[in-house]
Chains A and B, each alone.
Chain A
Amino acid sequence: MPICADDVEWVEEPSMNFWESTFLPAIFGGLQITGSHVVDGKTVTHQYPEEKPVLPLHYRGVHRLNKDEAGRVKCVACMMCATACPAHCISIVATEAPKDDPLWNGRDKFPLSFELDELKCIYCGMCEEACPCDAIELTHIYDLVGTTRAELVFDKNKLLSVYDETKDCGLDPVRTKRGALSGCSEFATLPTLGPATSVKADDRAAKAPSPGVIHD
């Protein structure tokens, strides 16, 4: 369909007046702005190694494996995190808890090995969401460095030591609810889902017999 000539709006570049055409006001105006920034001495930058950033409580950094009251690894080796992980960076070898050992009283399974590749991880926090017993959590540690790839594949002991390191620092409160399952498992308390965008009454989507199907 050709565009009607009446619908076309012609936008002309505004003509310059005398001072504008000499360019000098624009140049000196610009110099005034940049000069004022030079002399005000303010900075917006963080002086990083000396000045650490203030992180939000939900910051997602290096993982840790929580311990329970008895000091045992809280993980029950259910593989939920490894399944949820979009980067496939968690590998768990589960084993049965010894029945006669009083240390493992009340536990069926525990991870024999728990390896998490911090380099493969995309720090999405899905493992933390998936974990039914609040065993894996992401901490505020953001400055993770290593000289080899192997040393950044964290094993169970390393992940447990991250817990010891961060549990009392105040930035990473242990979100455990003493044996209760984590929030995502509490279907009863979850709010009912509403549509992401409001649908108006005259919208085609609202009139459709079944939502999401477009009819002619």
Chain B
Amino acid sequence: MNEWLQNPLIMTGVAIGVALGGILTTCAYLILLERKLSAWMQDRLGPNRVGPLGLLQPLADGAKLMLKEDIIPGHVNKFLFVLGPAISVFTTMLAFAVVPFGPVSHEKGQFPFVIAPGVDLGIVFIFAVTSLAVYSIILGGWASNNKYSALGSLRASAQVVSYEIPLGMSVVGLALLHSSMSLEKILTQQAEMGFLGWNIWYQPVACLIFFTAALAESNRLPFDLTECEQELVGGFHTEYSAMKWAMFFLGEYTHVITISFLTSVLFFGGWHFPFIAEAASAYPGAWVVKVAVLLFKVSCMIVLIQMLRWTIPRFRFDQLMSLAWKGLIPMATANVLIVMCVLEFNLPRIWLFPLSVALFVAVGLIGTQASLPAGGATVRRKKVTAPVVAAAHH
């Protein structure tokens, strides 16, 4: 039956439709969630005028952004100015192509739960495409012909280039452990090993590094130095308005969704959950449970990201750089080394957990010792005893 369903184009089209529609709707509601969360944190109610509990606010926002006058200032390079936001949305959407959002199926005529099934370079593809997103920021900032925009985009380029390294290094360990770079295979292998197969038990430090670096890649607080309002007006999107500005925003939120999916899939077992969604569970409707489990994990990640945004103040630029270059990169390198050693000497995998903890402790100790003043603690902490001689009036 349904010969035409066998056509691979049909199911891919359906998957693209589902993913795209899902992402766009989720982005709209994530903005509402973010506004609500921040309001609750600050003991406010948040948007509550449009619809019950403000639930129709995203529609109102969308309509507003669509109908708003789309200003292209006279002093900008028009082509690049328009290209910037387009690249932002395009690259982040493209990255979602290889992210599995359910129990992936390779059989013909079944919903694949991933737009491009069977991409063995999954992780590399995602990193390659998402780091293209920095082009949107650089083009947008540069085409704006505005000093603040240019400064913002320069910061973005430095930041993204720096955090690309720990982001990539943190998953090298996973690729070695699973002998694969395919997200689907990493997910399936974790699911087959059960709850204790989740990568968080073997790579906790890598998870921390990955999450931090991915947050920095998405240019969100506490890493949003590209658009810090106090110093740079609005950063790279100062000159943007209406839908073009919204596309930058859409790109950012899609990035958040993607990194939440990646963290859940890479480190928290994807759709696997003990008893209810095992690799072997084949009861009717199992796929619904699996999708629900994955979406639950992703939602937890997203809420965590949004909570972090409203909790932690923004980094200073030198702190940002020293966190990447002095903290995360050496840590990620050492982590890869540990994985290689464990695999090389055929140690049981559970050794990775204490070794990761030891790595974390070592890094913490190095950080503590390095911050002490050189040449011993001869810090002058003297009380003022002599009275201050006030200057005479005449």
Residues of A bordering B, CB below 8 Å: 1, 4, 6-7, 9-12, 15-19, 21-22, 27, 30-31, 33-35, 37-38, 41-45, 47, 216
Any chain A CB within 8 A of the CB of B63? no
Q: How far is the CA of A21 from the CA of B312 in the complex (A)?
A: 15
Q: Tell me which residues across on chain A come within 8 A of B365, comparing CB atoms.
A: 18
Q: How many B residues face the partner with a CB closer than 8 A?
A: 34
The 8 Å CB contact of A12, one of B45, B379, B386, is: B379
Residue contact A1 to B364, C-beta cutoff 8 Å: no
* Chain A residues, Cβ within 8 Å of B317: none
Interface majority SS (helix, strand, loop, mixed), chain A: loop
Verify B386–A10 contact, CB threshold 8 A: no
| B residues in contact with A11, CB < 8 Å | 381
> How far is A12 from B41 in the complex, measured between Cα atoms in Å?
33
Residue contact A9 to B382, C-beta cutoff 8 Å: yes
Q: Is B230 in the interface zone, CB < 8 Å from A?
A: no
Contacts beyond the supplied A7-B384, A47-B45: 6 A-B pairs with Cβ under 8 Å: A6-B382, A6-B386, A21-B368, A27-B312, A43-B44, A44-B43
Contact assessment for A21 and B41 in the assembled complex, using a CB-CB cutoff below 8 Å? no
Note all chain A residues with C-beta closer than 8 A to B273: none
**Could you give, for residues 317-341 of chain B, a 1 whenever the CB lies within 8 Å of some chain A CB and a 0 otherwise?**
0000000000000000000000000
Q: Is the CB of B379 within 8 A of A10?
A: yes
What residues of B have a CB within 8 angstroms of the CB of A47 in the complex?
45
| B interface SS class | loop
Select one of B311, B361, B372, B394 contacting A30, CB under 8 A: B311
In the bound complex, residues from chain A placing their C-beta under 8 Å from that of B379 are: 10, 12
Other-chain residue from B44, B310, B368 in contact with A44 (beta carbon distance below 8 A): B44
9 contacts between A and B (CB under 8 A): A4-B386, A10-B380, A12-B381, A17-B368, A18-B361, A18-B364, A34-B41, A43-B45, A216-B394
Contact status A45-B371, CB under 8 Å: no
Do B41 and A7 have beta carbons less than 8 Å apart? no
Q: Which of A27, A31, A38 contacts B40 (CB 8 A)?
A: A38
Whether B121 sits at the interface, judged by CB under 8 Å, is no
CB of B367 within 8 A of chain A?
yes
Q: Is B249 an interface residue (CB 8 A)?
A: no
Which B residues lie within 8 Å of A12 (CB)? 373, 379-381
Q: How far is the CB of A136 from chain B (nearest CB, A)?
A: 38
Chain B, 15-44, contact with A by CB distance < 8 Å: what is the 0/1 string? 000000000000000000000010011111
B389 touches A1 (CB 8 A): yes
Say yes or no: B371 contacts A15, CB within 8 Å. Answer: yes
The answer to whether B394 and A31 have CB atoms under 8 Å apart is no
Interchain CB contact under 8 A, B367 and A21 = yes
Chain A residues with CB under 8 A of B1: none
Q: Whole-angstrom distance between the alpha carbons of A155 and B19 in the complex?
A: 64
Minimum-distance CB pairs A-B, first 8: A21-B367, A30-B311, A38-B40, A34-B41, A10-B380, A44-B43, A34-B311, A22-B364
A137 → B minimal CB distance (Å): 36
- In angstroms, Cα B386 to Cα A19, docked, is 38
User: Are A21 and B364 touching (Cβ within 8 A)?
Assistant: yes
CB neighbours of B41 from chain A (8 A):
34, 37-38
B360/A22 in contact, CB under 8 A: yes
Q: Find B307's partner among A16, A22, A31, A44 (CB 8 Å cutoff).
A: A31
User: Is there an interface contact between A31 and B308, defined as CB atoms closer than 8 Å?
Assistant: yes
Q: Is the CB of B311 within 8 A of A18?
A: no
Task: Name the one of A21, A42, A44 contacting B371, with C-beta atoms under 8 angstroms.
Answer: A21
How close is A23's CB to chain B, nearest CB, in angstroms?
Answer: 9
How far is it, in angstroms, between the C-alpha of A58 and the C-alpha of B14 when the chains are bound? 67
Most A C-beta atoms less than 10 A away, residue of B42, B365, B391, B394: B42
